[in-house]
Amino acid sequence: MQRKIWNPPFSLSVLGFTLLGITLCVLVMSASVNAQLPDDAMEIVRERQLTPDDIKAALATYTPTGRHDEYVMFTSGGHSGQVIVIGMPSMRILKVIAVFTPDPWQGYGYGVKDAPLDASNPGVTVDGQTLTWADTHHPALSETEGDYDGQYLFINDKANGRVATIDLRDFETKQIIKNPVALNDHGATMVTPNTEYVIEGLQYAMPLGNEYAPISEYKSKYRGLMTFWKFDRERGRIDEDQSFAIELPPYWQDLADAGKLSSDGWIFCGSFNSEMATGGVEDGNPPFEAGTAERDMDYLHLINWRRAEQAFKDGKVEKIKDFPVITLETAVAEGILYLTPEPKSPHGVDVSPSGNYIVVSGKLDPHVTVYHINKIEKAIVDKDYEGLDDYGVPILSFDAVLEKQIEVGLGPLHTQFDNQGYAYTSLFLDSAVARWTLGPDAKYKAPERPWRLIQQLPVHYNIGHLVTAEGDTVEPDGKYLVALNKWAVDRFLNVGPLLPQNLQLVDISDTGDNMGLLYDLPLGIGEPHYAQIIKADKLSAWEIYPEVGWDSINQQKHPKAAEKGSIKRDGNTVEISMTAIRSHYEPEIVEVNKGDKIILHLTSLERTYDATHGFALPAYNITASVEAGETVTLDFVADKAGVFSFYCTEFCSALHLEMAGYFLVKP
Ligand code: CUK
Ligand code: CUA
């Protein structure tokens, strides 16, 4: 698996470098730079032992200072609980968005009132336990008519069954909600084509509402769940009051995708424990890994979300923990839920850009299995069932809905699409990306050789998800693909037994078997699972907040914003309006009594791009960030007597160190 360095013997090497020189000239000319490759550049090529492919990759990704990237990738941060923003093709990290985990730099989770990580938020403090981390898996960009609109980003917390909303006007988390019925999730988040709903799927079946039931009552008491969170675009919030869930059989529902265009209105969701195995290796039972893989087929779930929405609106729900849930019985009676077989231990399910093809990968099957939406809908109309499952859910006949099975390689997981009629499937066991042709599809010129494996590109190593530019939309861009590899092994310098993930940028602009690696990005802050790539010009984040005194949590003028400093006492409550501008706070001296309740509104008067100030109050575990124009409120009790020097944590000006003050707490 060692990378071959191009290091020919001397005589060959002269020829090689001549060829290399020609290649370089061609490359340089194609970039319409009218220059010979300078000798010192050739010297670098020789010294660093670069191959022509290396040089091509370097030229394709190197981004000179001040030049901006063409695409932006949002990748989940795995157990860091954050989202990482990466420019492409440079693969430079632009930002880590704090989502479920406190972050001092962003002043997130360290005292700012009403921020999503405020302990008073029921999405954060659950049953008295404040959660300070998450296992983020699947980011989803908001869509309009099936295309990314650049407005919002959603991401789930697999560990605790939570969903967060990020506003892309300022790249800040605005909302964290806890699913009241489900402990965990996985096949989420993803959105319906107009972001009507953000979908969250439970992974490990459980007694809904977090009740207790012994594992021996698995079949009768444990259930799966899919939750439909209604998104209120105007408010930029998920509206919990308009949301509902559907009870599912206890099959360990996994990845899901929303239908689009021809399949709009459907949700497709795989599952991998239709055996309903209950583990117990310590008692001599088969472990889950074997128990869940006994049958040759599991069930793809087909959920009609418009019918589900109608049933919810008609009140055909039961309340679990006060949350409306459509029961399995209702789901069957109302034609909301169907099943169809899918090969052994499936993982990914992905809908092609036209909406016609639904691609499923079975981890233990070397094929991808492709269904056609027309066949699915016909089988439902014809009641072409091969039976009912234990819960009365109709199982559509596999032969009736199957379009094609294509052998792509070992351990297929996830599939993405481009604008040339190709599909790309990650091969975990083969450590490769398979490129294959879709069948005839109105959206693209029909491939000359449909349903064929075209190329397997080795990646390093153990690829999980892959993502293409806008690959989840009705209009993918092609051009780039990123392989999110679980193992890095020998790709980077040894940093101890815990290794970074390796995100590899792949050029998919060419047709045929011409995919090539461009760049390796090590990410050492948790395990990214999935990502979304959007054209950078679809994003239009603010440079500064719209006006001085902006409440970024609610995206409106802060009711307590003030452009002058003041201290007001009312009994034991001290309300302070503090301003910040280069390079001082006003007021600078604040004197209170031990036990006073402090409400501090901190307003940045700055109107300059990138003029950020911070506010650190030692011993009180408080740190805030105020970007230009922002007002934040800190709310705490002065329960420690003493002299506390507060100061600005951003090097904002030459006199940044002078931007300080004293918070005096009289005993
Ligand atoms: S994933 Cu969550 S186990 Cu394949 Cu979407 Cu990594
Ligand atoms: Cu303000 Cu440093």
pLDDT digits (tens, 9 = 90+) for 322-336: 999 999 999 999 999
pLDDT for residue 38 = 87
Q: Which fold has domain 550-666?
A: Immunoglobulin-like (2.60.40)
Q: What whole-number distance in Å separates Cα of residue 295 and Cα of residue 274?
A: 8
Which helix (H) or strand (E) element contains residue 518? strand 516-523
Cα(604) to centroid of ligand 2, in Å?
11
How confident is the model over 12-32, as pLDDT tens digits? 344 444 444 444 444 444 443
Bridge pairing between strands 573-581 and 584-586: antiparallel
Question: Which amino acid is it at 551?
Answer: D
What pTM was estimated for this model as a whole?
A: 0.94
Residue 220, SS3 per DSSP: helix
Mutate to test the pocket of ligand 1, among 156, 186, 257, 501 (most ligand atoms within 8 A of CB): 186
Q: What whole-number distance in Å separates Cα of residue 437 and Cα of residue 422?
A: 5
The answer to whether 620 and 636 are in contact (CB under 8 A) is: yes
pLDDT for residue 489 = 97
pLDDT at 2 > cutoff 50: no
Quick one: average pLDDT of 560-577? Answer: 97
Ligand nearest to the CA of 157: 1
Tokens, residue 66: 């001040």
Nearest by Cα to 606 from 654, 645, 646, 652: 652
Whose alpha carbon is nearest atom 1 of ligand 2? 613
pLDDT for residue 13 = 43
- φ, ψ of residue 311 to 5 degrees: the values are -60, -40
Nearest by Cα to 194 from 293, 294, 305: 305
Residues with CB under 6 A from ligand 2: 583, 613, 648, 650-652, 656, 659
pLDDT at 33 > cutoff 50: no
Q: What whole-number distance in Å separates Cα of residue 529 and Cα of residue 463?
A: 10
pLDDT for residue 243 = 98
Cα(528) to centroid of ligand 1, in Å?
9
Cα(137) to centroid of ligand 1, in Å?
6
Residue 36: partners with Cβ closer than 8 Å, 6 or more residues away? 25
pLDDT for residue 362 = 86
Identify the residue with better confidence: 182 or 6: 182
Tokens, residue 79: 């157990």
Beta bridge partners, 153, equal 141, 166
Cα pseudo-dihedral 306, 307, 310, 311, rounded to 10: -140
Q: What angle do CA 462, 464, 465 make, to 5 degrees?
A: 145
Which helix (H) or strand (E) element contains residue 160? none
Cα(136) to centroid of ligand 1, in Å?
10
Ligand nearest to the CA of 415: 1
pLDDT for residue 443 = 75
Beta bridge partners, 230, equal 197, 239
The answer to whether 247 and 205 are in contact (CB under 8 A) is: no
Quick one: average pLDDT of 121-130? Answer: 95
Whose alpha carbon is nearest atom 6 of ligand 1? 529
How confident is the model over 192-243, as pLDDT tens digits? 999 999 999 999 999 999 999 999 999 999 999 999 999 999 999 999 999 9
Domain positions in the chain are: 14-61, 71-99+134-538, 550-666
Ligand nearest to the CA of 608: 2
Q: What whole-number distance in Å separates Cα of residue 324 and Cα of residue 228?
A: 10
pLDDT for residue 71 = 98
Cα(391) to centroid of ligand 2, in Å?
62
Place of tokens 């087909």: 302
Rounded to 10°, the helix 10-30/52-61 angle is 30
E strand residue ranges, 102-158: 125-126, 129-130, 140-144, 147-157
> What is the distance of C-alpha 302 from the center of its chain?
23
Longest C-alpha distance within the chain, in Å?
Answer: 89
Nearest by Cα to 477 from 417, 413, 560, 538: 417
Closest atom of ligand 2 relative to the 647 alpha carbon: 2
Residues with CB under 6 A from ligand 1: 137-138, 186, 255, 347, 413-414, 464-465, 529-530
pLDDT for residue 475 = 96
Question: Which amino acid is it at 187?
Answer: G
pLDDT for residue 37 = 75
Tokens, residue 524: 């050492």
Residue 572, SS3 per DSSP: coil
CATH tag for 71-99+134-538 (out of 3.30.2010.10, 2.130.10.10, 1.10.3720.10, 3.40.50.970):
2.130.10.10
Task: Work out the pLDDT band at 36, boundaries 50, 70, 90.
Answer: low
> What is the distance of C-alpha 180 from the center of its chain?
22
Residue 528: partners with Cβ closer than 8 Å, 6 or more residues away? 75, 76, 77, 78, 84, 484, 501, 503
pLDDT at 628 > cutoff 50: yes
Same fold, 71-99+134-538 and 550-666: no
First-to-last C-alpha distance (Å) of the chain:
67
Q: What whole-number distance in Å separates Cα of residue 649 and Cα of residue 384?
A: 66
Q: What whole-number distance in Å separates Cα of residue 289 and Cα of residue 418?
A: 34
- DSSP letter assigned to residue 263: G
How confident is the model over 457-482, as pLDDT tens digits? 999 999 999 999 999 999 999 999 99
Ligand nearest to the CA of 659: 2
Cα(632) to centroid of ligand 1, in Å?
36
pLDDT for residue 363 = 87
Tokens, residue 458: 């080795």
pLDDT at 35 > cutoff 70: no
In the chain, what percentage of residues exceed pLDDT 70? 94
Q: What whole-number distance in Å separates Cα of residue 90 and Cα of residue 351?
A: 29
30-39 burial, b if ≥16 CB within 10 A, otherwise e?
Answer: eeeeeeebee
Cα pseudo-dihedral 143, 147, 149, 151, rounded to 10: 30
